[in-house]
Structure 1
């Protein structure tokens, strides 16, 4: 039994000895770890934030009808440039039975009142000629007759407007729709033959057309609360429009909302900027755009990649090569960063070689 146990222990000992020998052999033949290095460089660093939004006209007006009816004629289409006062559409009025009935009743009452005033005026005139009543008393009846005549003419005009949308007295037709501003027609949502509702105190009415000045555009977007304190009115913006490739447009920040709104769990503030266009530029309304707002900028500064920095409890440092694959820690003072490169104010020079934190094995190890 002892011989069996001794044999087992011997086999185990031989196996362990062989494994340890193989381990130390592989260890001695393992390729050494080689760290790459990078030198600081001189570059321009721009620190900026991005606001997402869209391009919209500064002045956009909706043209609405003053009467209800049916579009009889439509004289314009979307994309056309119009002038203030230009005829856009003509509406065939469909008389409202209640309004026409009320206008007819008012007209009939005005006729009766005027006829009675005329009779009374004639009677009072005879008395005045006979020196029965003074002139002052007669003038009162004459004024009353004139007022009754004005009421009659007004009632006739109201009936004409209720039935046809125009009156001989005013000489203008309320069933004609005109542009109120100069600009381009962005949208004409109605068609000839379609019905429209008048604009009044209880209804916004049907929009006949939307007119905007496409030479005066603004960027409207929103910025996170963490960045809003770093911007101010008058800052320059670089606009990138997704639909227009290879172009960057300039803009000037002119408004920052004093109050933020909660969106997707974050407080955001609305910003507005004037888009600076050349005479030949044409941008369509509604394009989505991103605005790069420059917070800080430094030219020709010494910098390294931000990924090379290492951090201690209260310090920022890099590892500088002092001999082949030998490094020492150097405390550095940093400046602005654009998220990729960071300014180095002090601690290293342009000739130093800074250790890259991720090691690389040499070619032998990579081949195996």
Structure 2
């Protein structure tokens, strides 16, 4: 009885071991992968780069006062279109007390000088009429009198300019701030009551307004030093604006900086391009933009998808596997050219008739295995 029970237990263990082995082999067995192939084909490749930057007006004109004072009235607002000569603001003059006193003293001195000259002129005129003095002496007195009259007029005009900002009868007062060009007012950085300083040789002066023509825009961006050598002035650009979706603007590269600037460890070169502004798109100054530039282009060349490439682990040279029979492949070293990130140029090593192995194909997951994996994760 004990022997029978012993044999039964041994039989159960053997059957259990066989069942476990069969289950393990079945669960871990994989079907042989059938690799597909693809022919090289003729296509065009453009190698592009993208430069980030902004779209700004070609020229921004800063309007500055010709006299110091306080903003009395602002007549226009930011965003308004103006013509050259349009009145933007007026300034109330706050004269310097010392300069005003000096100008007033100059007027008084000119009046005294004129009075004295007039007395001499009147006295000698009567003598000249009687023939007592010569014509030359009288002409000299006439000249002195005329000069004294002119000096008084000049001193009074200077006094008026210092006191109120303009001389009487002037066609354009210094206190009137006017547009000097046609365009759109981008910014008025001052408010009524602000004190402003005139522009002179020692000071840029206070900016009253900034005006630009928004019909003449320029893309300003930067490119990496590894790509700048491939650019040429006149290269066409495609400008995408961050604020305007689904629209691209044409542009033409007009400037490449001769000197780079290091930023975060990389040398960047400034570029500029003339933007062809479309009438149906309103572009505001300072829009962020991306410019797509074609660095290199080849037409009608033999290419394959980059996904078919493999690289030698030692030499890092590219190669592919070419079909020699039913699911049989051999390695073939190739030479590649430019790439656009999807397709790559084949310089040598392949022809259109070759069948190139799609090597990175993965085995499809079975339904049962997928469910088992999900249950294990749960």
Q: Same fold (TM over 0.5)?
A: yes
1:21-170 aligned within 5 A: 26=25, 30-31=29-30, 34=33, 36-39=35-38, 40-129=40-129, 131-170=131-170
Distance change >3 Å, CA 330–CA 125, structure 1 → 2: same
Match of 1:173 in 2: 173
Normalising by structure 2, what TM-score?
0.82
The separation in 1 between residues aligned to 2:98 and 2:264, in whole angstroms, is 51
Match of 1:235 in 2: 235
Structure 2 SS opposite 1:297? strand
Could you report, residue by residue, the CA deviation over 1:283-339 in whole angstroms, capped at 9, with x for unpaired residues?
Answer: 111001111111222345432222432344385321112234321112323232112
Moved more, 114-123 or 155-164: 114-123
Shift of 1:29: 6.7
Match of 1:323 in 2: 325
Structure 2 SS opposite 1:360? coil
Distance change >3 Å, CA 29–CA 126, structure 1 → 2: closer
Distance change >3 Å, CA 361–CA 279, structure 1 → 2: closer
Could you report, residue by residue, the CA deviation over 1:198-257 in whole angstroms, capped at 9, with x for unpaired residues?
Answer: 222222222211110011111111111111111111110011111111111110111112
The separation in 2 between residues aligned to 1:301 and 1:85, in whole angstroms, is 60
Match of 2:335 in 1: 333
Shift of 1:95: 2.4
Shift of 1:262: 2.2
Match of 1:3 in 2: none
Could you report, residue by residue, the CA deviation over 1:6-33 in whole angstroms, capped at 9, with x for unpaired residues?
Answer: xxxxxxxxxxxx9xxx79x959974266
1:210-289 aligned within 5 A: 210-289=210-289
Contact 2:77 2:188 in 1 (8 A): yes
- Over aligned residues, Cα RMSD in angstroms? 2.8
Shift of 1:58: 0.6
Contact 1:33 1:359 in 2 (8 A): no
Structure 2 SS opposite 1:34? coil
The separation in 1 between residues aligned to 2:65 and 2:224, in whole angstroms, is 41
Distance change >3 Å, CA 363–CA 28, structure 1 → 2: closer
Contact 2:319 2:333 in 1 (8 A): yes
The separation in 1 between residues aligned to 2:171 and 2:118, in whole angstroms, is 28
The separation in 1 between residues aligned to 2:31 and 2:245, in whole angstroms, is 49
Contact 1:223 1:270 in 2 (8 A): yes
Normalising by structure 1, what TM-score?
0.85
The separation in 2 between residues aligned to 1:49 and 1:81, in whole angstroms, is 37
